[in-house]
Amino acid sequence: MGYPLSRPEIAPEDIAAVTEVLNSPHLALGPKLAAFEKAFAEYIGTTYAVAVNSGTSGLHLAIRALDLGKGDEIITTPFSFVASANCILFEQALPKFVDIDPVTLNMDPDRIRKAVTKRTKAILVVHVFGLPCDMRAIEEVADEYDLAIIEDACEAIGATCDGTKVGTFGDAGVFAFYPNKQMTTGEGGMLVTDDAQTAELASSMRNQGRTAKSSWLAHERLGYNYRMDEMSAALGLSQLSRIDKMLAKRSRVASWYKKALEEVEGVSPLSDVEGCQRSWFVYVVLLDRGHTRSEVMERLESWGVDCRAYFPPIHLQPLYRDLFGYKVGDFPVTEEIAGRTLALPFYNSLRQSDVEDIVEQLARAIK
C-alpha cells in the first residue's frame, strides 16, 4: 500500500456546500465570498480579510497595497517556497535574502537587523513549515527602521506566538488554500489586515481595479483578476468551520511521528520552540549528515512512500542565479539545512499504524 505526500480532508458537508452554490444563481462575487472573508477575519483576529485566487496573488497584492516597488529592498528568507520571493520581483523590488536560524529554520532576526540599508522598506517573513518567526524581535527591527512587515503565513494557519495568531503581527498577512495546505479551497488565498486602506486597495486590485462604489466598467487603478469564486469560498467556509479540529488531527499525527522517530537513528524531527505553537503543514525530518538524501528518497518512492525535498534554496533556483548571480555558499545555513530536509506523507486521515509503517520504511531506507 502506498502513501501520498498529502491529501485534503473533504467531508460530505464540504461537497454539500459546493453543490449548494452550483444550484444557486451566484458562481462569482456572491454571498459566500463575503461570508468566508468575515469568518476568516474573525478566526485570525484581524479587522479585514480579502479572499483571492491563490496565496501568490495575495502576496502580490500585499506588496502593491503597501506601495512597495522599484528600487525598494525587501528583506526575506531564501528558505521558502519560491512565491514568497517572486512576489517581490513582480514589482521590480529587490529581495534581500538573509540566512536562517538552524533550529527554527526561519529568518535569523540578528541577520535581519544587519541587512537593513537606506533602501530597505519592508520585511517579508515566512513562517516556514508552520512555525512562527520570532515576531517580537522582528517587530523591534521594523519599528526601529520604520519598515513594513508582510507575513507569508501560507503554511501557518492557526499557529501562535505567545498566544497570538500569525497573520495579526504584520501590516498584511497572507494565507493559502492549495490542496496540500491545512485547509483548502482548491486554489485560493486570503490577505488579512487591520488597515482599512490596505484592505480596500487589495479588494479593488483583485477585481480589475474596480471599487465598491464604481460601476462594472469603471476601473480606478491597475487591477487584476485575482478573485475567488463562490464554489471555492463555500468550500473554504465549510473547511474553516472545523479548522481547529483539523489542526488537532494534524498535531496528533505529528506526535505519532515524533514518537516513532525516537527509535530511528540517522534522522531527527524539527525542533519545538518555547512559546510558539506550530501549525502542522508538512512533516519534515532532518537526515543526519553523511546520508545521501536522493538515495533515501528513491528507496522510499519505490516502496510507495511519497516524499519531497522541501525546500531547495530560492537563491540557487536558475531564475535567481541568472538575475542576481547567486552561487553555492552565499547562504550556508540555508544550503546545509536544505540539503538534509525530507518531507514525509502527512495528512489528517493517517492512522498511528500508518505512521509507524512509514517510519519503519524510512529506517530501512536510511540503513
Ligand X SMILES: *Cc1c(COP(=O)(O)O)cnc(C)c1O
Residue nearest to ligand X (CB): 55
Residue 84 or 232 with smaller CB distance to ligand X = 84
In sequence order, what are the residues at sequence separation of 6 or more whose Cβ sits closer than 8 angstroms to the Cβ of residue 175? Answer: 40, 44, 55, 58, 153, 154, 157, 167, 189, 190, 192
Q: Residue 178, interface with ligand X (CB under 6 A)?
A: yes
Shortest Cβ 311–ligand X spacing (Å) = 8
Please name the amino acid found at residue 134: D
Using CB under 6 A, count the residues that bind ligand X: 14
**Whole-number minimum distance, CB 356 to ligand X, in Å?**
28
Our finding on whether 131 is near ligand X (CB under 6 A) is no
84 is an interface residue for ligand X by CB under 6 A: yes
Give me the residues paired with residue 174 across strands.
152, 191
Q: What phi and psi values does residue 109 have, to the nearest 5 degrees?
A: -55, -35
Walk across the sheet containing 267-269 and list its strands. 267-269, 283-287, 341-344
Question: C-alpha distances in angstroms, 360 versus 260, 261, 304, 345?
Answer: 8, 9, 13, 13
Contacts of 54 (CB under 8 A, 6+ apart): 176, 178, 187, 188, 189, 226
Counting contacts by CB under 6 A, is residue 279 touching ligand X?
Answer: no
State the nearest-atom distance from the C-beta of 142 to ligand X, in Å.
20
Is position 341 an interface residue for ligand X (rule: CB under 6 A)?
no
Residue type, 362: L
Q: For ligand X, which is the closer residue by CB, 62 or 260?
A: 62
Q: Which of 8, 55, 170, 236 binds ligand X (CB under 6 A)?
A: 55
Q: Which is nearer to ligand X, 183 or 362 (CB)?
A: 183
Binder among 36, 48, 81, 97 for ligand X (CB under 6 A): 81
Nearer to ligand X, 178 or 347 (CB): 178
Residue closer to ligand X (CB basis): 100 or 359 = 100
Q: How far is the CB of 218 from ligand X (least distance, A)?
A: 29
SS3 of 148, please? Answer: strand
CB 105 within 8 A of CB 79: yes
176 binds ligand X (CB under 6 A): yes
Q: Which residues, other chains included, contact 148 with Cβ-Cβ below 8 Å and sequence gap of 6+? A: 66, 68, 121, 122, 123, 142, 170, 171
Q: Candidates 6, 76, 77, 80: give the one binding ligand X (CB under 6 A).
A: 80
Residue 324 grid coordinates: 542576481
- Give the residue among 253, 245, 313, 252 at the shortest CA–CA distance from 43: 245
Q: Shortest approach of ligand X to residue 288 CB, angstroms?
A: 26
Q: Does 157 bind ligand X (CB under 6 A)?
A: no
Using CB under 6 A as the binding rule, whether residue 154 contacts ligand X is answered as yes
Binding site for ligand X (CB under 6 A): 54-56, 80-81, 83-84, 126, 152, 154-155, 176, 178, 189
